[in-house]
Amino acid sequence: MAPEIKYNKLFINNEWVDAKSGKTFDTLSPHDGSVIATVPEGDKAAFHRNSEWRLLDASARGRLLNKFADLFERDLAYLSELESYDNGMVLTMTYGFMSRAVNTIRYLASLADKIQGDTIPADGDLFSYTLKQPIGVCGLILPWNVPILMFINKVVTALAAGCTVVVKPAEQTPLTALALAALIKEAGIPAGVVNVVTGYGPGAGTSLTHHPDVAKISFTGSAEQAAGKVNLKRVTLELGGKSPLIIMDDADLNVAVPAAAYGVFTHQGQICIAASRLFVQAGIYDKFVEKAVEFAKNRKVGHPNDSDTEQGPQIDDEMMNKVLGYINKGKQEGAKLLTGGNRIGTTGYYIEPTVFADVKDDMIIAKEEIFGPVQSILKFDNLEEALERANNTSYGLAAGIFTNNINNALQFAKHSEAGTVWVNNYLNGSVQLPFGGFKESGLGRENGVSCVDAYLEVKTVAITLPKKF
């Protein structure tokens, strides 16, 4: 049974309103392409600084955010179902993500009254100190793959810092951001602190990135940006990856094969940290490939709500066709397709779990982010070679290694050009761990105790002391 769509208007100043233009757009089900709801197409909006939130005691901000966490936990089942309905995430996986989201809210809320400046022993007769103050109005642009987690990461961090926000959810998945806005209001967070504008990148998105009163943009998605064209905005960017996972000869295949599969097939491959370049050492290569193919063939693809489903649909027909196009390019360039590679059925956007072997570094499927259930397996001889090839990319979001040799593990962790390195696991994480990328995978970090710094300006105060007293 489909969840009730309770909110389908813009959320501005704690009120539900239509777009001034009167325009709307549909959000579609990834399962069968049907219309889930019609929502307003936001365009330009007005922004202002809200002194009430800025001047509120930091501890009071934390309490209100914890109230939001309580309400989120109360509505966890509904939010999980709505997220799965809108973006096709397998429901059992969604429940896990939502439980993690509750912990994330509470952790970030706890940082609100931990923001502290420093006293500085400056040269001369000066009493000097720093203040950390909210940066102002923040435009937060969400991706469609994990909308609720990204709403939580960005909104609660900004609010803990004392900022106000305008949220632009992805046009494919606007519904959960609106549902969370209702909980923000119910928690007692003042009007105007959180606003949600649904719409497309051109229009709602560019209004944020071009507006002179927006001090900061936090964006998760593709690399095309407009921030900074009007004023010098602060930015936090998470722009995707082509993450390498190294399997050494001494790895336990009973652990490494499933971990590598989950690393690239989880959420239909629609995760930025997907292990989409799988390097397997020559000594176990053939055996690993055999087990990887068997694992992929046994993976259950089906309706996201079915309890035994492991893989659901891609987000929409555009992404499905993009992934299928990459699969065709892999075949054309000589990679060996061992299983999968086809669309499943004619309704919805389902793709078979796909495994390529004998992939070469210069093939398109080894270079570009596919964002689909496509496992590309490459062969290597030694760790030095694997490191060199793993780092030979413009991306640098995540990396992993499976090995029982501690020196190999430490050397790989030291020399990997990636923001997160996993050893003998993949995809494990929590809100306490900073997350972000090297190189073209982004700027800045989310999560961890320092995440609020991205929403703060540091002000230096230097006071002349009298010569005599």
**pLDDT tens, position by position, 38-62:** 877 765 544 444 468 888 999 999 9
CA distance 377 to 355: 8
Among the listed residues 332, 449, 312, 324, the one whose alpha carbon sits nearest the alpha carbon of residue 374: 324
3-state per-residue secondary structure call for 54-109: HHCCHHHHHHHHHHHHHHHHHCHHHHHHHHHHHHCCCHHHHHHHHHHHHHHHHHHH
Integer CA distances (angstroms), 80 to 195, 224, 272, 304, 351, in order = 22, 30, 21, 11, 23
Amino acid found at 117: G
What pLDDT is recorded for position 201?
76
What pLDDT is recorded for position 225?
46
User: 58-74 vs 76-87: helix axis angle to the nearest 10?
Assistant: 70
Strand 343-344, strand 420-423: pairing: unpaired
Is the whole model's pTM more than 0.85, yes or no?
Answer: yes
CA distance 166 to 47: 8
Q: Which listed residue (138, 163, 272, 451) is catalytic?
A: 272
What pLDDT is recorded for position 200?
83
CA distance 15 to 464: 48
CA distance 377 to 368: 14
Q: Which listed residue (41, 238, 417, 446) is catalytic?
A: 238
Q: Check if 272 is active-site.
A: yes
Mean pLDDT score across all residues of the chain: 91
CA distance 274 to 293: 18
Domains and CATH numbers, the chain: 10-239+449-460 (3.40.605.10), 244-418 (3.40.309.10)
Q: What is the DSSP letter of 190?
A: P
Among the listed residues 396, 359, 360, the one whose alpha carbon sits nearest the alpha carbon of residue 273: 396
**Ranges of the chain with pLDDT below 50:** 45-50, 224-228
Among the listed residues 62, 27, 390, the one whose alpha carbon sits nearest the alpha carbon of residue 200: 27
What pLDDT is recorded for position 31?
86
Q: Check if 138 is active-site.
A: no
